[in-house]
Amino acid sequence: MTDEVMLMSGYVLIPLLPLMAFLTLALGGRWLRGKSHKIAIPAIGLSFGLSIGAFIEVVRNGAISIPLYRFIQSGSLIVDLGLYIDQLTVLLLILVTGVSSIVHVYSSRYMIGDPRYNRFFALIALFTFSMIMLVMSNNLLLLFIFWEVMGICSYLLISHWAERKSACQAATKAFLVNAVADVGLGFGVILTFATFGTLDIQQILAQAESMSGQTINLLGWAGIDWPVHTITLITLFLFMGALGKSAQIPFHVWLPFAMEAPTPVSALIHAATMVNAGPFLLVRLSPLVVLSPVTMTVIMIIGATTALFAAVVSLTQSDIKKILAYSTISQIGFMIMMCGIGAFVAAIFHLMAHGFLKAFLFLSTGNALQSVQAHGHPQSDVDHGPTSRPAWSLYIGALILACIPPFVIFSGPYEYLWTVHHFASAKFVFWVIGLATVFFTAMYLFRGITLLFQGGPSVRHSESGTSLVVQPHLFSPSHLLGLFIGGVMLVSFLMVLWGWFVQFLAPALGQPVPLLDEPTPPGGISLWILLPLVVAFGGWGLAYYLHIKSRPSFLAQSEWGKTLYVLFLNKLYFDEIYEVYVVQPTLRFSTWLWKTVDVGGIDHFITGIARVSVKLACWLWQVVDVRGLDRGVVGLGRQTVRFAHWLWQTVDVKGIDRKVAGIGGQTVNLARWLWQVIDIRGIEKNVERLGREADATGHLLQRIEPRTLQHHLLVMIFWLVAAIGLFYWLVR
Amino acid sequence: MSSIFADHILSWMIATPFLGIATLAFVQNQEWIRRVALVSTLINVGLSLLLWAGFDFTNQGMQFVERREWMPTFNIQYAVGVDGISILLVLLTALLCPLCVLCSWTAITTRVRAFMMLILLVEGAMIVVFTALDLFLFFMLWEITMIPMYFMIILWGGPDRIAAGIKFVLYSLTGSLLLLVGILGLYLEGGRTFDIVALTNHTYPSDVQFWIFLAFFLAFAIKIPMLPFHTWLPDAHAEAPTAGSVLLAGVLLKMGGYGFLRFCLPMFPEASAQFAPFILWLSIAAIIYGGYMALAQSDLKKLIAYSSISHMGFVTLGIFVFNRQGIQGAILQMFNHGITTGALFLAVGQLYDRTHSRWISDYGGLHKTMPRFATLFCLFSVASFGLPGTCNFIGEFLVLIGTSFKSFVMVLLAMGGIVLAAAYMLWMLQRVALGEPNTKAASLLPDLTRRELATVIPLAILVFWIGLYPGPLMEMMDASVTQLLEQTKGIQSTVIALNASWP
């Protein structure tokens, strides 16, 4: 092994360290308890350091690939696991390990005194491991595995406070919604294998171009010709998995409920890292995805819809964590939309920025919540919030968050992308959706933070949308000026960063949009960038205006406004619709199926056969045996007696007796004696007694439980004897 | 290791349980009865590891073969041997039996000796069934496995044990008689021999194949069990004592799958191909149907029992797609199902020992009172629905890959079954392990003891081992599956008209 290879395999430590931390805490957590973070923090920190090392390495020498071991070999299915570190991976690595280290440090204070302190740290270490593996995996199967392991980590962490029923339900819900979506991902993986014959991502991407013409006839079984591009099918199914993890419509319902998790978990998993798996997957497979215009359009539409929808919903929520959750959904919708128009670099840029910022917002919120909770208030519907310094950090974070997506997306190089797939009117629609999302984002962030920190006693009524009160004194002109200068500096910084970013990420992505004839080199900046900024400030201003006026807003005064408000307050009733039309019917159907079909149908039928055979046996015994044969025998006895009687009367007495008169008297006497003693008393009584006894035995048999041991034994022995007899007979 | 020992390792594995039974006859002390039973099962674990160590992965045929004349008149032999398909099941049997003894340590208080003897009897019989190279031997021990199970159910079972026992025996006997008919047919058609290897190499005419396949298929379908023949299973599993459930689910069900692989596929390839579409759809139906059934249950053991039907659907699905991935997946799935479902039954048994209740509603909040138990239970539950990284995933994934060569619609439907599995398992987990205790008793339960931990920890290790590094197991069966595919080559060319013919 050369030195270089040794050095390379050092990067295996990036996932290995969190894994070791997890194993230590999982196996020895009982003894560590309060000291658990002392194991986890160094491990994740080191992992972060190594990620930076990997970053430098990749900047210098390009992608690194580290083979691990052969996972499965079965005929044509060969799965070699390995790590693949390219430009995309290192960025994600820095995000994941960076946010994870911060969250670890933060949690070591935040979770103090928690009875399951060690479990918490073990699980976030495991989560970090699986997310690292997800971004490093060279293989779709490996990606799928850690995709699911992340899901189970999320499940276990959402149910961290398992005493709360709502937390348990949220956990189950999160996993099951994802499970449905992951059918798509899993099926996509299998379809990919069926198409490409390999699961290695780089090999798939290399072959992608050559497969672009292949079609599948979807309705072939019905005799209808409906060819669909294989790649369209694959990417749509893979995208379905991305929808679940990244909480996009229609699978977004789990994320707001996932806020039942401790706040550091919300920051790490449900804002910064795991939910980014969807855009990551799309960018990772971008050379494949761009080959299908259908998929690109679907991605774009779903992303845009989610972005706008979640932004508006976020505006109506009263729980700060739910506001942030919908904000996350909306922002990821934005990323997905960018992927849909081919702006993969922009998506990743936004992903990175959003990841750090959202984690920051959540952690600040956690601080605020903790100080509020110290005053005895629940997490939601915060009132009497402390007016404190964290507020300013939140405001700045919010501003950046509101401006980044538009900044990236409206900057010059990607302007041409608005003419999506030669569909000119789309340009206008996405401009509107993009700007509207920016507007609402600024609005809800302002509102949420204001609610948290400056909410007066009347904030509780904010749910009815009638009165929103805020103390306006915080916004002195100097503050606003500071904010403005800070904003401008940040934007300039981001512009410089962006220029570098586009160059850096290019090798990992391949050709972004093959549909374009002459792609302009990205990196330039146009004045269009100011538009979203203006819109963002506009949203901020409107929120401020609405809050500062302690009178009902114009929306609340009109009927349709109220209807709309209620509609969005209830998130368009997605949860209720799923509950009524999916969950309940499934449960009812399963109960019905069990009671009616399984127990009432199949089981009843088969026990019915048994019952019928028992009845047949009873009937055989009663009718044929007792009534038929037995009576026959008894009757024969009677007939014999009658015949004897007749013989005696007719032949004996009338005929012979008279003829043989001499000995007649004696004979008659003898015959009478014979008849009386032997015939009637003897035979007839015997026969009748036999009948009665048979009856009695029958009753006795009936009284014996047919379930006794002897009975079973008899049955079994009978069968065995029969079987062996049959066997011998046949073999002979 | 002397050569007598090395040459007869299978016979030793068969003899050990019977020697154990003989020893038990002379032991009076209950504690010693348990110990003797444990030691004899552990010896078998050791022997099975030796078997594994001596197993030649590259050899396609039977290994460790032993043959002795038994009833020369009818050409009946005592003949045993293992190949890549059966060795996994032998290992599984050897592995689960000590756990069964351990889990009955305190749970069984009456007639301990009889119970331990029955466990050993099942073990011995199962090993013979999986290794027999003589059909008569196979059939005889196939029958014998039923008897100890029946007594376990009716003597140590739950409240409804008698009915469950009767149902079990009736179903099993029906299957056995069909099997007997099939075996006799095979004997008469295949040149008056019971030698499985010779019978496999024989070629049968189509109509003969059809009828004998039908007899065999029904017998195995009842055992495994497939969809319409499954109703004995929930009752038998639910009413049997823990060890009985573990043996039933872990080992006995596999006789069906083993039968398909050993007899149906190689001996009647044409009939198999003929029946395959029907069986495949039945398997898909079983996967989904079992999922729905499990979702409706409020009884822990019945829930797990119905989940077995769903898992066995994957096994039959994998077997009857006739390709390497499918068959390897099916074998692995049988092994994995033995581990996870066995572990789940052990876990439920541990709860049952504490409260004597199988109802989900009697528990809740166990994460607090029994953290170790909750962790392990959670692990086995998620492994059971095939969470990637655990053992069941590998089997299911391989089966799905195998199925994808036949029909994508089936793959999608089967994946729907996995979602259902996630639903019932997580819902059950939520009601049992999370939340607040529903009853006073549930809030006072003591956590697992060392012995109980020792019962389930080996399985937990296996769950991860196979889930993350299935290579050794796959390698072990590779050569034999190749041979099996060679034998069924006829059906590869036979076009199987499936309803869904898109690629």
Tell me whether residues B231 and A216 touch, CB distance under 8 A: no
Interface subset of A 226-245, CB within 8 angstroms of B: none
pLDDT for residue A697: 65
| Structure ipTM | 0.91
- pLDDT of A727 > 90? The answer is no
Question: For residue A184, what pLDDT band results from cuts at 50, 70 and 90?
Answer: very high
Tell me whether residues B367 and A715 touch, CB distance under 8 A: no
A-chain CB neighbours of B388 within 8 Å are 144-149
Closest chain B CA to residue A215: B503
pLDDT for residue A390: 52
Strand partners, B22: none
- pLDDT of A471 > 80? The answer is no
Token digits of residue A257? 């409920």
pLDDT for residue A466: 35
Interface subset of B 317-336, CB within 8 angstroms of A: 323-325, 328-329
Q: Is B315 on the interface with A (CB under 8 A)?
A: no
pLDDT for residue A307: 87
- pLDDT of B90 > 90? The answer is yes
- pLDDT of A637 > 60? The answer is yes
Mean pLDDT of B293-312: 92
Q: Is A216 on the interface with B (CB under 8 A)?
A: yes
Q: Judging by beta carbons within 10 Å of its beta carbon (0-12, 13-18, 19+), is residue A15 exposed, middle or buried? A: buried
Indicate the range of A570-574, A579-583, B148-152 predicted with least confidence.
A570-574
- pLDDT of A715 > 80? The answer is no
Whole-angstrom distance, CA of residue A116 vs CA of residue A682: 91
**What would the pLDDT profile of A297-353 be if each residue is shown by its tens digit?**
889 889 888 988 888 888 888 777 888 888 889 889 888 888 887 778 878 888 888
Mutation site for A-interface testing, chosen from B309, B322, B333, B426 by largest number of A Cβ within 10 Å: B426
Closest chain B CA to residue A723: B177
Mean pLDDT of A437-466: 60
| Closest by Cα among B351, B349, B421 to B381 | B421
pLDDT for residue A679: 64
Whole-angstrom distance, CA of residue A564 vs CA of residue A313: 10
- pLDDT of A551 > 60? The answer is no
Closest chain B CA to residue A709: B154
Question: For residue B496, what pLDDT band results from cuts at 50, 70 and 90?
Answer: very low
Question: For residue B300, what pLDDT band results from cuts at 50, 70 and 90?
Answer: very high
**What would the pLDDT profile of B369-386 be if each residue is shown by its tens digit?**
888 899 999 999 999 998
pLDDT for residue B441: 81
Secondary structure (DSSP) of A473-498:
GG--HHHHHHHHHHHHHHHHHHHHHH
Residues sharing a CB contact under 8 Å with residue A253, sequence separation 6 or more, in sequence order: A173, A177, A571, A574, A575, A578
- pLDDT of A58 > 90? The answer is no
Interface subset of A 501-530, CB within 8 angstroms of B: none
Tell me how close the Cα of A218 comes to any Cα of chain B, in angstroms. 7
CB-CB: which of B388, B422, B433 is closest to A149?
A: B388
pLDDT for residue B421: 93
- pLDDT of B218 > 80? The answer is yes
Question: What are the Cα distances from residue A415, in Å, to A410, A411, A516, A525, B252?
Answer: 6, 7, 13, 10, 66
Q: Is A727 on the interface with B (CB under 8 A)?
A: yes
pLDDT for residue B129: 93
| Closest by Cα among A72, A38, A94 to A140 | A72
**Residue B138: in which H helix or E strand, if any?**
helix B135-156
**Residue B78: in which H helix or E strand, if any?**
strand B76-82
Closest chain B CA to residue A607: B167
Indicate the range of A459-468, A585-594, A663-672 predicted with least confidence.
A459-468
Q: Is A180 on the interface with B (CB under 8 A)?
A: yes
pLDDT for residue A565: 77
CB-CB: which of B173, B325, B426 is closest to A75?
A: B325
Q: Which residue has the higher pLDDT, A358 or B316?
A: B316
Token digits of residue B261? 């692989």
Tell me how close the Cα of B107 comes to any Cα of chain A, in angstroms. 23
Mutation site for B-interface testing, chosen from A216, A590, A593, A595 by largest number of B Cβ within 10 Å: A590
- pLDDT of B62 > 80? The answer is yes
Whole-angstrom distance, CA of residue A465 vs CA of residue A558: 12
A-chain CB neighbours of B74 within 8 Å are 731
Interface subset of A 130-159, CB within 8 angstroms of B: 141, 144-149, 152, 155-156, 159
Token digits of residue A725? 């007899």
**What would the pLDDT profile of B393-433 be if each residue is shown by its tens digit?**
999 999 999 999 888 889 999 999 999 999 999 999 999 98
| Boundaries of every domain in chain B | 275-503
- pLDDT of A234 > 60? The answer is yes
Q: Which residue has the higher pLDDT, A198 or A451?
A: A198
pLDDT for residue A1: 44
B-chain CB neighbours of A607 within 8 Å are 167
The pTM assigned to this predicted structure is 0.85
CB-CB: which of B228, B427, B502 is closest to A217?
A: B502
DSSP 3-state of A65:
strand
B-chain CB neighbours of A251 within 8 Å are none
Question: What are the Cα distances from residue A264, in Å, to A38, A99, A124, A361?
Answer: 17, 10, 10, 11
- For a pLDDT cut of 90, what percent of chain B falls above it? 47
Question: For residue B160, what pLDDT band results from cuts at 50, 70 and 90?
Answer: confident
Question: For residue A491, what pLDDT band results from cuts at 50, 70 and 90?
Answer: low
Q: Is B423 on the interface with A (CB under 8 A)?
A: yes
Omega of the bond prior to A250 within 30 degrees of 0, cis? Answer: yes
**What would the pLDDT profile of A115-159 be if each residue is shown by its tens digit?**
888 889 999 999 999 999 999 999 999 999 999 999 999 999 999
Question: What are the Cα distances from residue A126, in Å, to A131, A261, A711, B146?
Answer: 9, 16, 58, 45
Mutation site for A-interface testing, chosen from B177, B231, B406 by largest number of A Cβ within 10 Å: B231
- For a pLDDT cut of 90, what percent of chain A falls above it? 15
- pLDDT of B91 > 80? The answer is yes
Q: Which residue has the higher pLDDT, A77 or A672?
A: A77
Q: Is A194 on the interface with B (CB under 8 A)?
A: yes
Whole-angstrom distance, CA of residue A162 vs CA of residue A275: 23
User: How, if at all, do strands B76-82 and B63-71 pair?
Assistant: antiparallel
Tell me whether residues B434 and A707 touch, CB distance under 8 A: no
- pLDDT of A557 > 90? The answer is no
Mean pLDDT of A265-273: 87
Q: Which residue has the higher pLDDT, A546 or A161?
A: A161
CB-CB: which of B177, B388, B427 is closest to A145?
A: B388
Tell me whether residues B173 and A163 touch, CB distance under 8 A: no
**What would the pLDDT profile of A44-56 be if each residue is shown by its tens digit?**
999 999 999 888 8
Residues sharing a CB contact under 8 Å with residue A494, sequence separation 6 or more, in sequence order: A353, A404, A407
DSSP 3-state of A213:
coil
Tell me whether residues A171 and B74 touch, CB distance under 8 A: no
Rounded CA Rg of chain A: 41
Residue A109 burial (CB count, 10 A): 12
CB-CB: which of A220, A591, A610 is closest to B296?
A: A591
pLDDT for residue A492: 67
Chains A, B: CB contacts under 8 A, how many?
177
Token digits of residue A296? 């690109």
Token digits of residue A451? 């609610």
Kindly report the backbone phi and psi dihedral angles of residue A555, in degrees, each rounded to the nearest multiple of 5, phi listed first.
-65, -40
Token digits of residue A49? 């350091």
CB-CB: which of A147, A168, A707 is closest to B434?
A: A168
Tell me how close the Cα of B7 comes to any Cα of chain A, in angstroms. 31
Interface subset of B 265-284, CB within 8 angstroms of A: none
**What would the pLDDT profile of A186-231 be if each residue is shown by its tens digit?**
999 999 998 888 899 988 988 888 887 778 777 766 777 778 888 8
* Cα atoms found within 13 Å of the Cα of residue B267, Cβ hemisphere only: 29
pLDDT for residue A516: 44
Q: Where are the alpha helices (DSSP H) in A581-708?
A: 584-592, 604-619, 631-646, 658-659, 661-673, 685-703
Indicate the range of A21-25, A137-141, A487-491, B443-447 predicted with least confidence.
A487-491
Average confidence score pLDDT of chain A:
76
Tell me how close the Cα of B1 comes to any Cα of chain A, in angstroms. 34
Tell me how close the Cα of B324 comes to any Cα of chain A, in angstroms. 6
**What would the pLDDT profile of A14-25 be if each residue is shown by its tens digit?**
899 999 999 998
Mutation site for A-interface testing, chosen from B288, B380, B397, B418 by largest number of A Cβ within 10 Å: B397
Tell me whether residues A141 and B397 touch, CB distance under 8 A: yes
Interface subset of A 53-82, CB within 8 angstroms of B: 69-75, 77
**What would the pLDDT profile of A270-279 be if each residue is shown by its tens digit?**
888 899 999 9
Average confidence score pLDDT of chain B:
88
Tell me whether residues B416 and A183 touch, CB distance under 8 A: yes
Tell me whether residues B471 and A730 touch, CB distance under 8 A: no
